[in-house]
Structure 1
């Protein structure tokens, strides 16, 4: 990314020419509906009073836009995304406002926004299983180049949370694991690779979302650590990100009484954001909130107060206001400036950090995509690197009956469980396999059908995915338990995180891929058939049902 030398005077001239409203608008990162800058969508009118994404940029002049797939429908194909990005940037230029930070969550693995043919890299826990910082750096670099090729310059990654809670419902495989030192090394490597590729990295979720069983999307996590525990457990990867020069930090909507006795979510806590992150840790980059439509930040305050309190706490960018609430939050910020609750200097300071990041990314000079770079999205060497990383991640936790690899004459296989069809398709490239798909939480009838199909097989492969949590969706655990009771040779393949093994520790064999990407499933199939040697080591400690250690961090010692 560009150096700031010589840019300060330019930034000050830009800031001096901006009204308080323009400065406040620069502090918002908004979602839009639709996949083209000039395509009307009635949801944009309901949320922003305009029909087209380009109209939103021209009228409201936000600091950034965040891309999503799904209901927002922004991400369909790399060429389409690049056209959307260029259309939005042209709208900003034609309206005489600043270029946009275009952002998305591109963590790899379970949280991957760019559609194929973009490269889908393994997620953090998979990379941690391989213990290869160079691969983390290289994959972050190629991801950044593909993001930049479609116009995205702000990545909400890496996850710097230490997943110390096996029951964590929202971090899990998104984390580099439960060991602070390993997480620190790999977090720094990701930051270095991403920013070498011209994309601002974001360490999240400060001050640490790893040791909680509550999802801040739906509740308010409370982290009960004392200060010493926080410094030992949560701080190392966050400090490593800062030492690596991370451009931005994302706040977590979580309460840490040891850091703020008032019990405010970190996003709204001045002692946490200004006192700890700014003053104690010395971070002067951009602080961005986690999405403001999440329950963790809305539980105690109205939407208008949330935006003002976040800025008072010391954040710079307000991400994803609740549906239809952007203008309410913008007007609340301006009212706070008029009343003196927020000073103009405070507004100016955050706008300066946002502009400084845009300058650092080169957006003030050229915010548009490069067609030559777009041609490299999903390049063969990128895909090969992702495949190699997925191969190295596969972890064999147990194989007490020496079922793996399959004997050359194995021909009667059953693949069943959550997402069995995808693994069955990969396995079928090497050996014929019957597939019985059960869905994420199979009812007793489906379990019985799979059990009947399992009898007499050379091997049964059961796929589990903790994205469909085996604790709250007990059908998966019931399926594995029933399959194991048949006496058929059974291998469980966990394509989510590896904690599932605690639900059925008596299975003969258990493989973890940490992901259900095509590359991860191909690696699992290759491992089952002896074409890939499982070299991964657990990046977490797995507790058993009684809370005692079932499998240690680093298992197996290969």
Structure 2
């Protein structure tokens, strides 16, 4: 979440598409090095959730994917990278947020995995993280009835935090809550009970009390100790873990940053170059069928008119500029996250006047008309563009799942993010300067039929040699 000039990198799902743990480790080391340079010594990453629910509203591309083994490999690689930069990494969100269908910021997700499913899907990345010496693990505000039938979220669950994480998995590191201002941990109990129950469950660090509630929560913990609900020994064990971790990070002997180094470390040229190379390995070509006029990727550089439309003012403009580097004349028109019929009609009219349209989508699969959802506008936009009979290329800049909302799209790339480097890489892929190397780190289901596969895990097209 540190913006430029800090090095902007591919996210977790993008890195998983590249299938190179070495890239995950190198970029975690770069992130850690730059964080340390500005005085940040703990990062709440890597996300260790296995995103098996394409409609997950809160995890998505934050996860390395839907395969537990791949997620485990990438998580352990990033833990090593952060450690090499002397930064504390945090595996999250135990016991696993990957099959949520609601956002724990606004409500309480219920993970309905059986115990056997949890063992095979959610547990492996955390088990691997513990084996790799994870310094810190963050709990999730989610209910897992198979692990604790009480209905308490994991953050407040002694059977989960102490019974499973501490006793069964033998984890001795720091346990930190997800933010305590999230509704997922506030629904069942009042703000004065939440910190006490979290400490009784076995956590060590209470993160981000609700606005204006710090004193309330601190007083509640003090009262719990004075009243005997919590013991001083219990508090001391958590304090010891915090102090021991600070000692390992060298924060008692060298707590300050050297401000003169910040400009040389943050966004260093070698860091930017590493991020660019890693990004180029993530772009995934999902579909590349012949279009009107026989057009398929890669395109030949040279004069042509290109209309870049879809989501994001900055995103469409940046992509248009990158396409322009290959001899094309490209213009950009943002139609927003939920395009209106008028915006769709305008984009379709522009498409008829151009040789090619490139349309950017962002969570286009989220076609629900309920409040808080994107609605069908993006899918309708893509379909209208295809109906013009002019060549159309879709670039999904967040979730790879978008194509299930418009499966007839003949050409479809997934970038998993919309950083400038991701858009530069996408344009280079369109014109053959960066042959596609990514493979899907998730399964894309048929819309409305989650048990039917549209594109399988591991799918990714390549350009013909020569």
Please indicate the TM-score interval, normalised by the length of the shorter structure.
over 0.9
- CA offsets, 1:147-190, max 9 Å, x none? 00000000000000000000001111110100000100110000
2:307 maps to: 414
1:445 maps to: 342
1:237 maps to: 125
TM-score, length of structure 1 as denominator length: 0.78
Alignment partner of 2:250 out of 362, 366, 376: 362
Query: What is the distance in 1 between the residues matched to 2:319 and 2:253?
Result: 47
Counterpart check, 1:485 vs 2:373: no
CA contact (8 A) 1:403 1:489 kept: no
Counterpart check, 1:136 vs 2:40: no
Alignment of 1:245-256 (within 5 A): 245-256=133-144
- CA offsets, 1:42-88, max 9 Å, x none? xxxxxxxxxxxxxxxxxxxxxxxxxxxxxxxxxxxxxxxxxxxxxxx
Q: Which 10-residue stretch deviates more, 222-231 or 548-557?
A: 548-557
Counterpart check, 1:384 vs 2:384: no
Q: Which residues of structure 1 form unaligned runs of 5+?
A: 1-112
1:532 maps to: 434
SS of the residue aligned with 2:308? strand
Alignment of 1:329-478 (within 5 A): 329-371=217-259, 373-374=261-262, 375-401=264-290, 402-419=295-312, 420-430=316-326, 431-466=328-363, 469-471=366-368, 472-473=373-374, 474-478=376-380
Deviation at residue 372 of structure 1 after TM alignment: 5.2
Query: What is the distance in 1 between the residues matched to 2:100 and 2:37?
Result: 36
CA contact (8 A) 1:421 1:435 kept: yes
TM-score, length of structure 2 as denominator length: 0.94
Q: Which residues of structure 2 form unaligned runs of 5+?
A: none
Alignment of 1:219-238 (within 5 A): 219-238=107-126
SS of the residue aligned with 2:79? helix
CA contact (8 A) 2:365 2:405 kept: no
- CA offsets, 1:186-224, max 9 Å, x none? 100000101110100000000000012111001110011
Deviation at residue 482 of structure 1 after TM alignment: 0.8
Query: What is the distance in 2 between the residues matched to 1:517 and 1:379?
Result: 17
Alignment of 1:305-344 (within 5 A): 305-344=193-232
Counterpart check, 1:519 vs 2:421: yes
Q: 1:365 to 1:195 in 2, by over 3 A?
A: same
Counterpart check, 1:165 vs 2:49: no
1:194 maps to: 82
Query: What is the distance in 2 between the residues matched to 1:426 and 1:376?
Result: 27
Q: 1:325 to 1:520 in 2, by over 3 A?
A: same
SS of the residue aligned with 1:203? strand
Q: 1:342 to 1:248 in 2, by over 3 A?
A: same
SS of the residue aligned with 1:466? coil
CA contact (8 A) 1:456 1:488 kept: no
2:165 maps to: 277
Q: How many residues align?
A: 446
Query: What is the distance in 1 between the residues matched to 2:302 and 2:254?
Result: 60
CA contact (8 A) 1:207 1:252 kept: yes
Deviation at residue 425 of structure 1 after TM alignment: 2.4
SS of the residue aligned with 1:234? helix
Query: What is the distance in 2 between the residues matched to 1:173 and 1:410?
Result: 35
- CA offsets, 1:355-395, max 9 Å, x none? 11111111111110123542211011100111111111000
1:551 maps to: 455
Q: 1:468 to 1:370 in 2, by over 3 A?
A: farther
- CA offsets, 1:319-373, max 9 Å, x none? 0100000010000000000000001110111111111111111111111012354
Query: What is the distance in 2 between the residues matched to 1:468 and 1:427?
Result: 26
2:98 maps to: 210
Q: 1:239 to 1:143 in 2, by over 3 A?
A: same
Q: 1:194 to 1:257 in 2, by over 3 A?
A: same
Query: What is the distance in 1 between the residues matched to 2:33 and 2:255?
Result: 15
Deviation at residue 427 of structure 1 after TM alignment: 1.9
- CA offsets, 1:100-147, max 9 Å, x none? xxxxxxxxxxxxx11211101100000000100111111101110000
- CA offsets, 1:480-512, max 9 Å, x none? 111111111011000001000000000010000
Query: What is the distance in 1 between the residues matched to 2:338 and 2:460?
Result: 30
Query: What is the distance in 2 between the residues matched to 1:408 and 1:157?
Result: 40
Query: What is the distance in 1 between the residues matched to 2:179 and 2:32?
Result: 22
- CA offsets, 1:388-409, max 9 Å, x none? 1111100000011152122234
1:51 maps to: none
2:155 maps to: 267
Runs of 4+ in 1 over 6 A off after TM superposition: none
